[in-house]
Amino acid sequence: MNANIEPASNAPASGMHSPPAAAKPGDTLLTRTSRTTAQRRLAPVENALCGATAGLVSRALVSPFDVVKITLQLETAKSASRLRTGSVIACATRIMHAEGVRGFFKGNLSAEYLYLSYGAMQFLAFGTIEAALRRAQAPKRVRSFVGGALAGALATSVTYPFDLLRTRFIAQELSSRVHSSLVEAVGHIYREEGVRGFYRGLWPACLQIMPYMGIVFTSYDMLASGYRWARRTVLSESPILRLLDPVQDAVIGAGAAVIGKTCVYPLDLVRKRLQIQGPHLLSYAHGRVPKYVGMSDALMYIVRQEGVLALFRGLTPALIKAAPASATVFFVFGHTRDLLLSLRP
């Protein structure tokens, strides 16, 4: 998504701004009201605020899916049947029976910090990078892919400790905790593992997030272009697309997320397994995850001992989570942006 393309207005001779141009069928965040002559863009701080707001709202909706996904990723049983939807339901049932509703919100505090800071950093960086590439006259597709990839890598690196903390809280049982609070966990990890302990699995995370965010932003642009073309030509009178117009940004964002998540999912699974490595490995995930010496070792071990399909364990809840999460991010970002612009004099 082009985070810096903003609604525009005509500037009459009187100096007063006329209302933005009315939306046409198929307009998205990328094109809405761009038909007028004067453009107004979000400042970097406004981009960050919109991204942080979108991240917080998104997290509130997907926490249970996140817990189920990570629980399945840490499951090492060699069984392709565990990849089916039934395993998702079985996993959710086990969590409910063992830990109650609270079990679906383990690690939620660190996850809220993660989504807040990641959302702010991602859109701040994307807006800045995309603007620089535009000044360099880079093609639109290049701006979307490179801007999304670099923004994702930067946001991941800055906020990674929160991601690791979320995984460790989810991996522990409420009845036998390794960490009792976020502050205690930070001190515990620092004393026993040092600063490096907060960055276990960062390498596969960056390898994953760079193509993922590049694919998501590029897919968003391509799906948005396709939607606009269909809406204004062959499907201009479609009642279904007419109903989708008010939420088209959310629908397109969800589709982009599904494409991106599926492409890079094996690296996400490896990252989660590396995040719980350390002196308390046997205390997480019922002690089922073996010790790995790095990303390559983890990948080869999983393929050799569990099969290739094991690299996609937990993909179903991941996609269920990714679609509404990404849809919410794009939807809330767009409306928060429009609100900020409407408050300008």
Q: pLDDT, tens digit, for every residue of 256-301?
A: 888 888 888 999 999 999 999 988 888 888 778 889 988 999 999 9
Asked if residue 314 lies in contact with residue 9, where contact means CB atoms within 8 angstroms, the answer is: no
Asked if residue 83 lies in contact with residue 160, where contact means CB atoms within 8 angstroms, the answer is: no
Q: Which residues contact 70 (CB under 8 A, 6 or more apart)?
A: 167, 170, 171, 272, 314
Residue 281: the pLDDT is 85
Residue 14: the pLDDT is 36
Residue 84: the pLDDT is 47
Predicted TM-score (pTM) of the model is 0.66
Reading the chain (345 residues) residue by residue, the pLDDT tens digits are 443 333 323 333 333 333 333 444 444 444 443 333 234 577 777 877 887 788 778 777 788 888 888 988 888 765 444 444 457 888 888 888 888 888 888 887 777 777 778 877 887 888 888 888 888 888 887 887 888 888 888 888 988 998 899 899 888 877 777 888 888 889 999 999 999 999 999 989 888 877 887 788 788 888 888 877 777 776 666 776 667 666 677 778 778 888 888 888 999 999 999 999 988 888 888 778 889 988 999 999 999 988 898 899 888 888 887 777 777 877 888 888 888 888 877
Q: Please identify which residue in the block is written with the tokens 């996850």.
A: 111
Asked if residue 115 lies in contact with residue 56, where contact means CB atoms within 8 angstroms, the answer is: yes
Q: Considering only CA atoms, give the Rg of the chain.
A: 22
Amino acid residing at 235: L
Read off the DSSP letter of residue 4.
T
Containing 8, the helix (H) or strand (E) segment is strand 8-9
**CA dihedral (186, 189, 192, 196) positive or negative:** negative
Residue 325: the pLDDT is 77
Asked if residue 13 lies in contact with residue 343, where contact means CB atoms within 8 angstroms, the answer is: no
Residue 17: the pLDDT is 37
